[in-house]
Amino acid sequence: MKTARNIAIIQGSIREGRLNDTITAWTRKQLEAQGFTVSVVDPADPQLLPIQTGDTDAVAHLQTLLAPADGYVVVTPEFNHSAPGQLKTLIDSIKAEWKAKPVGFVSYGGISGGLRAVEALRPVFAELHAMTLRDSVSFAMPWGKFDEQGQITDPQMRDGAEAAMAVFGDRLRWWVDALVAARAMEPYDKAAA
């Protein structure tokens, strides 16, 4: 049974002044407390930003960041009832790294909590042979409910988010272990139609 479970968080917004940094910091802390080894992939990083125009060096850099991960957590806001375009472009820029690996979602937005972005991304990851987690963590109207350290200040939101994260972490661990074992038993590409 695998002990080190490497998770890459992918930030879903590159907007200046983005709330994403706060939600990502909270997510990272929660996953680390559950025993995951976590790295963060920031599409606004100058080395990754050129992915948006298909720069091959930037895409290769993304591959080196994502390939070692056993699973991914996408932290995404909702833009016009879907996921941000730059996140979709990042996802579209690579293929092999997603295959037969779990992808979980932490989302945020208005009353929807970003869930429409999550649902828009599910068929995208299915096409890429990734396994999306049914359970997610979502924040509806999160503005002003985090302090500067990324802690949730609203008790109701904190309790709900921590309960959702406990389930989410359990599911993520299960899928990481299951798919690590499955890929070791038989290369996924060989089995694919």
Residues that bind ligand FMN (CB under 6 A): 13, 15, 18-20, 77-81, 109-110, 112
What size, in residues, is the chain? 193
Question: Shortest Cβ distance from residue 6 to ligand FMN (Å)?
Answer: 24
CA nearest neighbour of 165 among 92, 109, 104: 104
- Distance in Å, CB of 147 to ligand FMN, minimum: 17
Residue 44: left if φ>0, alpha if ψ -120 to 50, beta else—which one? alpha
Is the Cβ of residue 128 or residue 164 nearer to ligand FMN in the bound state?
Answer: 164
Residue among 13 and 136 whose Cβ is closer to ligand FMN? 13
**Residue reference for tokens 């991304």:** 121
> Closest approach of Cβ 13 to ligand FMN, in Å?
3
Residue placing its CB nearer to ligand FMN in the complex, 138 or 173? 138
Nearest to 76 by CA among 18, 135, 125: 18
Structure tokens at 100: 């037969």
Name the residue with the smallest CB distance to ligand FMN: 109
Beta-carbon-side half-sphere exposure of residue 138 (alpha carbons within 13 Å):
17
Nearer to ligand FMN, 30 or 180 (CB): 30
Query: What are the φ and ψ backbone dihedral angles of 16, each rounded to 5 degrees?
Result: -65, 135
* Neighbouring residues of 130: CB distance < 8 A, sequence distance ≥ 6: 72, 98, 99, 100, 101, 102, 103
Q: How far is the CB of 46 from ligand FMN (least distance, A)?
A: 18
Question: Is the CB of 102 or the CB of 109 nearer to ligand FMN?
Answer: 109
Q: How far is the CB of 19 from ligand FMN (least distance, A)?
A: 4
Nearer to ligand FMN, 128 or 141 (CB): 141
Instruction: Quote the least distance from Cβ 76 to ligand FMN, whole Å.
Output: 8
Q: Which of 73, 86, 80 is nearest to 16 (CA)?
A: 86
